[in-house]
Amino acid sequence: MARWRVGGEKEETERHIGLLKLVQILSFLVVFVAGIIIGLATSSHINHYFTSQAEFYFSRNFQIALPPVGGGVGANCNVVPHCEKVDCLNMETFLRPKNLTHGMTDNEIFWRASLLPNKEEYPFDRVPKVAFMFLTRGPLPFLPLWERFFKGHDNYFSIYVHALPGYQLNVSEDSPFYWRQIPSQTVEWGTVTLADAERRLLANALLDFSNERFVLLSESCIPVYNFRTVYKYLIGSEHSFVDSYDDQSRYGRGRYNRKMLPDIKLYQWRKGSQWFEIHRTLAVYLVSDSKYYTLFKRYCKPACYPDEHYIPTFLNMFHGSLNANRSVTWVDWSMGGPHPALYGKANITEDFIQSIRNNETQCAYNSEVTSVCYLFARKFAPSALEPLLNLTSTVMEF
């Protein structure tokens, strides 16, 4: 406080302070006005953004309000550089993506696929579809059989193919498999990348809001009933068909890792074949889960196989009542060993296929009992194609 002692100095200091205050007030004013201007600009931007989003989600007349230009409805937005020219937010593209090519990462597409409509009614005529998801390394040897199976049922199914990256399925333009490959990643059998591929297929298929049921199939799977029967069976079922059981041996509980505690307990641990069939509700739960998936990724490594345990255990813990706990894909483990029996040309007879269609066991279906337990079967070698094609009309009825 030394300067207050001398009069002149004090006066000068007071003048100084007065000036300083003026400058302070002025600068406050400047900042305040600038703030208002920035605020106004931003909020109009946000308003604009929300208005366009709201229009997209809530206005049925959006397509009328903004008539499509150029390619029009269903135009491929991925290759159209400017959305001002094409109605990229049209309902058709949103509900039923035509082109399965996209640049989304797994995290991005899982998030998108987890979005649920809150409104019960659909603003369009929704015909439930079955999504057939083929997890394959490369070629599909039973393509001609499947093509025959799907023929004439266009509005009731969607196909998704996850092949190894770089593999291009070569099919003609009139095939239902034409351009149905999803962006894929490397899959190493026995590792978590297999479970990743299954979830990737689910996420891609979930983007089509009409898909109601989701079947996972391999290149060695065949249908044993016709499309009509398969469709009715799956769409009409109150349960999903995921094989799930408590195997007390070292091949079941033996693969459990205590490090999963306290989130997963030993008594909750389940095992089951990876070839599932699930309802849309469960598909959304599966792509939405990060917590349990992460535990499996971290602690389920060979001789623990995530594809045999993750889905059965997760469903058992949270959605057990929605699961039939059995698979609709027939397989023959009777030979023993680590791989199921493989059926080739010499093994295909009318009686054999008939025994899969009705193998004298009874299965629970909704609250009834049925002799139809299996809709699909594995494993078949490519050589089985020709005799199988010969049996479609007489045995499989398609």
The residues that touch ligand NAG, with contacts defined as CB under 6 A, are 76, 78-79, 99, 101, 170, 179, 239, 316, 320-321, 323-325, 330, 332, 341, 343, 346-347, 355, 359-361, 364, 386-387, 390
Distance between CA atoms of residues 392 and 154, nearest Å: 19
Closest approach of Cβ 322 to ligand NAG, in Å? Answer: 8
Q: Compare residues 89 and 341 and give the one whose CB is closer to ligand NAG.
A: 341
d(CA 348, CA 350): 7
Cβ neighbours around 216 below 10 Å, total: 27
**What amino acid occupies position 216?**
L
- Give 22 or 346: the residue with its C-beta nearer to ligand NAG: 346
Beta strands in the chain (DSSP E): 129-135, 157-162, 211-218, 222-223, 277-279, 329-330, 363-365, 368-370, 376-377
Quickly list DSSP for 86-131.
Answer: S-TT-HHHHHS-S-------HHHHHHHHT-----SS-SS----EEE
CB of 153 to ligand NAG, least distance (A): 21
Smallest gap from residue 125 Cβ to ligand NAG (A): 25
What is the closest distance, in whole angstroms, from the C-beta atom of residue 353 to ligand NAG in the complex?
12
User: In the complex with ligand NAG, which residue's Cβ is closer, 193 or 237?
Assistant: 237
191/317 with CB nearer ligand NAG: 317
CB closer to ligand NAG, 44 vs 281: 281
Backbone φ, ψ for residue 259 (5° rounding): -65, -15
**Residue 205: strand, helix, or coil:** helix
- Distance of closest approach, residue 78 Cβ to ligand NAG, in angstroms: 3
Residue type, 85: K
Distance between CA atoms of residues 312 and 319, nearest Å: 10
Tell me whether residue 93 or residue 325 sits nearer to ligand NAG (CB atom): 325
Pick between residue 73 and residue 301 the one whose CB is nearest to ligand NAG: 73
Residue nearest to ligand NAG (CB): 320
Half-sphere exposure of 114 (CA within 13 A, CB side): 13
Structure token digits, residue 57: 């989600």
What is the smallest separation between the CB atom of 26 and ligand NAG, expressed in angstroms? 55
Q: How far is the CB of 44 from ligand NAG (least distance, A)?
A: 33
